[in-house]
Amino acid sequence: MRQRKTALRCADGRLLAATWYEPPADDELRAVAVVGAATAVPAGYYRYFAEWLALRGYAVLTFDYRGIAASRTALQPGEDVRLRDWARLDMAAALHAADRYRNTAQHARGQPLGLLWVGHSLGGNAVGLVPGFAEKVDAFLGVAAQVAYFGHWSGWARVQAWVFFHAMLPALVCLLGRAPGRVLGPRAQDLPAGAAWEWAAWGRTPGFLFGDQSLDRERAYHQFTGPVHLWSISDDHLFGPAAAVDALADQFEAAQVMRHVLAPQDLDEKRIEHFGPFRRDLGARLWPRLLAPIEAATPRLAMRLHSA
């Protein structure tokens, strides 16, 4: 497995830190994959998953959103960013780079090559805002990717979600000018004010980003026709309950949608929760479960390109 640092240039000229994880040899190339991170989560969290994919023959691209981790300097002093910017600009830059990589490999070998998007939480629920997603991506694997409107939660978790979106996020931004990463999850970094405001607004809106009328012309989920495999985690009560994942599945009207559920007992674990699916210690038992169904449904992901 080879690891190569790179920079992605966005449509507005900003540079994002990114990393390619490539198979040991070109003749083992199976497909290209992009990993879209959860809200404010550094790309490094997905490193071991990307390495595992690379050893399976994928060329894998991970990247940090502007203002996060190694891409912190992509935001200029005093500048803000919204969640939609991470999709329309940052995810778009990653998709463009992956598509360029795919086209170069196809041209060199004269064989088709698949492109898989793996989206965790925001990295999955925002894909329909990414320009070119429906045309360039062959298959979409969503892990705890959801329509995060608080109404999709139930019981005590619904109360927590209501407080989070209506009170906690707005109060933290007013007091601190940001949302501290420690309140967002064990892997998250501080969330810029604009992204926090938009997340809170969407979380209070029926339909989440699908209820935001300013995005009506940009949402293209209904245009994607490839396989869409969405996984919910049975003990992910705080960030991705099954009903919220189901609501995202409903948006892919023309796609081949499959819903999957992973429970801790499937892996003889006590808990997995929202951030568990990409833990290194669970990888050997968990990641083949995620990948096998979507590879079986996407012939281009099962192919290997051989040197001429």
Q: In the numeric block, which tokens belong to residue 76?
A: 């200029």
φ/ψ region of 207 (left if φ > 0, alpha if ψ in -120 to 50, else beta) reads left
Average pLDDT score over residue span 185-208 = 95
Number of Cβ atoms within 10 Å of the Cβ of 4: 10
Q: What is the pLDDT of residues 58-75, one digit of tens each?
A: 999 999 999 999 999 999
Average pLDDT score over residue span 192-206 = 97
Q: In the numeric block, which tokens belong to residue 116?
A: 């898989």
The domain limits of the chain are 2-148+217-302
Q: State if pTM tops 0.75.
A: yes
Q: What is the pLDDT of residues 277-295, one digit of tens each?
A: 999 999 999 999 999 999 9
Among 288, 292, 294, CA closest to 255: 294
Q: What is the pLDDT of residues 95-147, one digit of tens each?
A: 999 999 999 999 888 889 999 999 999 999 999 999 999 999 999 999 999 99
Q: What is the pLDDT of residues 77-102, one digit of tens each?
A: 889 999 999 999 999 999 999 999 99
Q: Are strands 227-233 and 256-262 parallel, antiparallel or unpaired?
A: parallel
Round to whole Å and give the CA distance between 19 and 59.
Answer: 10
Helix 169-176 × helix 193-204 angle, to 10°: 160
Q: What is the pLDDT of residues 228-254, one digit of tens each?
A: 999 999 999 999 999 999 999 999 999
DSSP state letters, 175-230: HHSEE-GGGT-TT--PEEHHHHHHHHHHHHSTTGGGG-GGGTTT--GGG--SEEEE
Superfamily of domain 2-148+217-302, CATH level 4: Alpha/Beta hydrolase fold, catalytic domain (3.40.50.1820)
pLDDT exceeds 90 at position 22 = yes
Amino acid at 255: A
Q: Are strands 178-179 and 191-192 parallel, antiparallel or unpaired?
A: antiparallel
DSSP letter at 261 equals E
Average pLDDT score over residue span 197-219 = 98
Q: What is the mean pLDDT of the chain?
A: 95
What are the beta bridge partners of residue 225? none
How many Cα atoms occupy the beta-carbon half-sphere of 134 within 13 Å? 16
Round to whole Å and give the CA distance between 197 and 194.
Answer: 5
Round to whole Å and give the CA distance between 159 and 298.
Answer: 40
